[in-house]
Amino acid sequence: MMVAWSLAKSASKTDEIQNNLARLREKRGISAAALAGVAGVSRQTIYAMEAGSYVPNTAVALKLARALEATVEDLFGLPDDLPAPDLRTETVAMLPGSDTLEPGQPVQLCRVEKRTVASAPSPVPWYFPASDAVIAGGRGKTKVRVFHPEDAFKNRLLIAGCDPAISVLARSVQAAGSELVLAHRNSSQSLALLRDGWVHIAGTHLRDEATGESNLAEVDRIFPRQSVAVISYAVWEEGIVTARGNPKGIRGVEDLARAGLRIVNREAGAGSRKLLDTHLKRLGISTAKVRGYGHEVQGHLPAAWQVQTGSADACIATRAAARVFGLGFLPLVSERYDLVIHREHLTLPAVEALLETLGRSSFRRELESLGGYDTRAAGERMR
C-alpha cells in the first residue's frame, strides 16, 4: 500500500509517533526474534521500536505491517491528542426546495456554472435499484435474464450486514477496481448466511453482555475455530433515537414504557433489538408494557425514518442513523462493528482491496464525518 509519510531514524521525531508495535506483535503471538528476521533488522532494533526510541524507515515499516497482517497506520500513527487537520469550509447554496438541515446532516456538492450547490441525499431510495438481471421465472431453480457479460461479476464481493455506512466502503473499494454487492440483513442473519456459504463477508454487532466484548463470542459459537477472520470495521454508538428536540423528554430505556409513548422495534436477531431486550430485562420491564414493541422494521435507517415521520416516538439505532434525519440521540453503548470473512477468501484480490481500503485516511475521514463512528481500529484483525 502507499504510505502518506516516510519514517526514518530520528530521535527528535519519536515523540510525534504513536507506537502500537508491541501490542500487535503480542496479539499475533510472534516473537521479537521472528519479527526481526522478517523485517531484516536485529531483535534489539525491534525492542527499540517498541520502546519508542527508534522509528523505522518506510521499507521496514511495510515489512512489519505485512508480517503482522496490519497496515502501517495500525503500527505507527500520530497521537490522538495532536490536532486533527481542519476540514475545508466553503459557503454553498442549498438546492431550492430542500428541508431545513441540522448541523452534521450530510449533503452532496456539485458545481453548477459559478455556484456550488448542496443537495441533501435522500436516505430513502426513491429510485430504481441497481440491477444486473431480471427474473425470468423457472420452476425449482430461479432463472434470470442477464444484462451484462459473464466476466462483469468477477471482482465482486457479496456482503451481508445492517450498517448503512457500508455504502461508504463500497464507494471507496470501487475506486480500487472492486465492487461490493450489499445485502441488507441483521447481524444474526448475516452470520448464518456466511456459515452456509451464501456470502463472502458478514457484518455484525452482537455484544456479549457477560464480557462486554463485541462479536467474538457469537462467532466462536457459530464457526469452527480458525475458520474465519474477524476484522474490525469501526466502533459506533447505539442508543435511543428521538424526534428532533426530544419533545417527549425521553431520558432512558425506562421511559419507553411510559403511557402515551410509542416505539418502533427491530426484527428478532438484530443487534439493536438484543440491546433493547437486555436493558428492559435489567430494569425488570416487561416487553408487554412497551407500546410498539411488536412493530418491527428491518434496518437502522428504516427505524429512524419511523421516528422522523412521527409513526413512532423512539427507536434503538445508531447515532449516524439519527444524524441523517437530524433527530435526537441518547447513547446507550459503544460497540464494535466487525466484518467476518472465511480465511480462504482473504487472498481474493477484491478482499485484499477491501482490507487495504479500511486503512485509508480518506475512507476513515468520510466514515467518521457521519457521526458516532470511531475508525482508529479499522482493519485490525480481532481473530
Averages of pLDDT over each 10 residues, the chain, 383 residues: 36 57 82 84 80 76 84 74 60 80 79 79 69 75 78 84 91 87 91 93 90 91 95 95 96 96 95 95 96 95 95 96 93 94 93 92 88 88 91
pTM of the full structure: 0.70
pLDDT of residue 123: 67
CATH of domain 14-77: 1.10.260.40
- Residues 298-337: b if buried by 16+ CB within 10 A, e if exposed: ebbbbbbbbbbeeebbbbbbbbbbbbbbbbbbbebbebbb
CATH of domain 158-383: 3.40.190.290
| Residue 113 cell numbers, joined | 456554472
Integer Cα distance of 127 and 363 in angstroms:
26
Check if the beta carbon of residue 256 is closer than 8 Å to that of residue 248.
no
Beta bridge partners, 156, equal 179
On the 0-12 / 13-18 / 19+ scale of CB atoms within 10 A, 139 is exposed
On the 0-12 / 13-18 / 19+ scale of CB atoms within 10 A, 43 is middle
pLDDT of residue 8: 39
Q: Where in the chain is the domain with CATH 1.10.260.40?
A: 14-77
Angle between helix 43-51 and helix 21-28 axes, rounded to 10 deg: 120
Q: Where in the chain is the domain with CATH 3.40.190.290?
A: 158-383
E strand or H helix at 335? strand 328-342
Amino acid at 206: L
